Amino acid sequence: MIVKLTQDLKNGFAPWKAMLHENGDKLKKHGITCIFAGTEKDNDNKLIVIMNFASQEGMMSFKNDEELTQKRIAAGAMVETTVMTPMTGEAVINFAG
């Protein structure tokens, strides 16, 4: 299941990116593949993440992982601004023409 996550950051992308890399084991535990993560060109505090969850249960366990939530907050994530949007199954990924 492909999900788009948007979130505001306090400290820019670099601390959030470091947190993501430090928590690869958590991604595996929740069945998450990070397809894309980055901020807007003109605003390093507007994060967009495209993730692929192996299952609905994995998405729910991610949302309810308090330890990971605290690590995200410590990295500058303003979790109260988080919006997770499930995407259609009819997606095109990595199409180069």
Q: What is the pLDDT of residues 32-89, one digit of tens each?
A: 999 999 999 999 999 999 999 999 999 999 999 999 999 999 999 999 999 999 999 8
- What order of strands is seen across the sheet that includes strand 32-40? 32-40, 43-53, 2-9, 77-86
N- to C-terminal Cα distance for the chain? 24
Evaluate the CA torsion angle 14, 16, 19, 21 in order and state its sign.
negative
Output the six-digit token pair for 89: 């199954």
Confidence tier at 93 by pLDDT (50, 70, 90) = confident
Q: Tell me the one-letter amino acid at 82.
A: T
Q: Domain boundaries in the chain?
A: 2-86
What tokens does 68 get? 């990971």
Find out if CATH 3.30.70.100 is the number for domain 2-86. yes
Residue type at 89 in one-letter notation: G
